[in-house]
Amino acid sequence: MSATLLRNSTARAALRSGASASRAGLAGTSFVRTKVTLPDLSFWVPEAIRTLATGYKTRPYLEPQKLNDKLLTKSEDDYGALEPSISGKIMEIHHKGHHNVYVTGYNTNIEKLQEAQAKNDIAAQIALKPLINFHGGGHINHSLFWENLAPKSAGGGEPPSGVLGKAIDETYGSFGEFQNKFNTALAAIQGSGWAWLVKDKETGDISIKTYANQDPVVGQYTPLLGVDAWEHAYYLQYQNRKAEYFKAIWEVLNWKAAEKRFGA
């Protein structure tokens, strides 16, 4: 199946519609002192972005996302578990820098939106909503991405088995052919974006989709496994040789997390 670039995401539609946040709440989310505690990301409900995108007056702040212990070797300051496929410095900057920007950017713009709502400044509210979608989507995508990674010692790079492995074989002919099509989709992304293996909620079919910028996987699809094609994910190590990054990341992909999402 060919990859499809989804630029007009459901998340943007949700922003425009102002749908009730209660219909798109986070399963298993608890709220304490206006702080949100994230659910198990292995079973992340992609409608989460709709919760981020609506209900601004009561929306709690996001907390910085921590990496799984398996992605840290000796301490929180040692990000080298995925070397040599992905350097420790890239992981540190990607997590502490870029992901943190999405979290803080979301929180900052939520505060600005609340101020605009208090003043009934409609123009400011409209201008802020795309920023909230962007930063909220960046948080969702990266939270899933960290779950998608594992060092070889923890099963990183091992091909999927069970029902997901069977679905890949039936859909693409073989795991190798799936890899080729996925990398082709990654290479076709113009500018920044993500490639995802997704599951259709109605049919159960799997397919490859690409999304621009930080648009998250929402609507009829459940994200199973994604690869970040933004330059910040690879440039420090691979420079303009992004095809090498697309090849190397297969050595540390965590298919166990994808299998859990597929069966959820």
Q: Is the pTM for the entire model greater than 0.85? A: no
- Nearest partner of 51 among 14, 25, 18, judged by Cα: 25
The whole-angstrom separation of Cα 115 and Cα 57 is: 10
How far is the CA of 191 from the CAs of 172, 228, 252, in angstroms?
27, 12, 24
Q: Which residues contact 229 (CB under 8 A, 6 or more apart)?
A: 186, 189, 192, 193, 194, 195, 242
**Residue 41 confidence (pLDDT) above 80:** no
Cα separation, 158 vs 170, whole angstroms:
19
Average pLDDT over residues 123-136: 90
Type and span of the H or E element at 213: none
Per residue in 11-20, pLDDT (tens digit) is 444 334 433 3
Q: Residues 38, 136: contact at Cβ < 8 Å?
A: no
Cis bond before residue 84 (omega within 30° of 0):
yes
44-84 per-position pLDDT tens digit: 333 443 344 333 333 445 555 565 555 655 556 578 989 99
* Mean local confidence (pLDDT), 142-157: 91
Dihedral angle at the C-alpha atoms of 196, 248, 96, 15, nearest 10 degrees?
-10
Distance CA(82)–CA(70), nearest Å, equals 10
User: Which tens digit of pLDDT belongs to each residue from 223-258?
Assistant: 999 999 999 999 999 999 999 999 999 999 999 999
- In single-letter form, the type of residue at position 181 comes to K
| CA 30 to each of CA 21, 27, 39, 141, 178: distance values in angstroms, whole numbers, following the listed order | 15, 9, 8, 21, 38
Biggest alpha carbon–alpha carbon distance for the chain:
58
Q: Which structure tokens are listed for 260?
A: 């859990």
Instruction: Return the percent helix, strand and coil in the chain, to nearest 5.
Output: 55, 15, 35
pLDDT, tens digit, 9 for 90 and up, residues 178-229: 999 999 999 999 999 999 999 999 999 999 999 999 999 988 999 999 999 9
**Residue ranges of domains in the chain, CATH in brackets:** 88-150 (1.10.287.990), 153-263 (3.55.40.20)
The average pLDDT across 27-50 equals 33
What is the C-alpha to C-alpha distance for residues 164 and 53, in angstroms, rounded to an integer? 31
The pLDDT value recorded for residue 138 is 92
Half-sphere exposure of 40 (CA within 13 A, CB side): 6
How far apart are the C-alpha atoms of 247 and 85, rounded to whole Å? 9
Numbers of helices and strands, H then E, in the chain: 10, 6
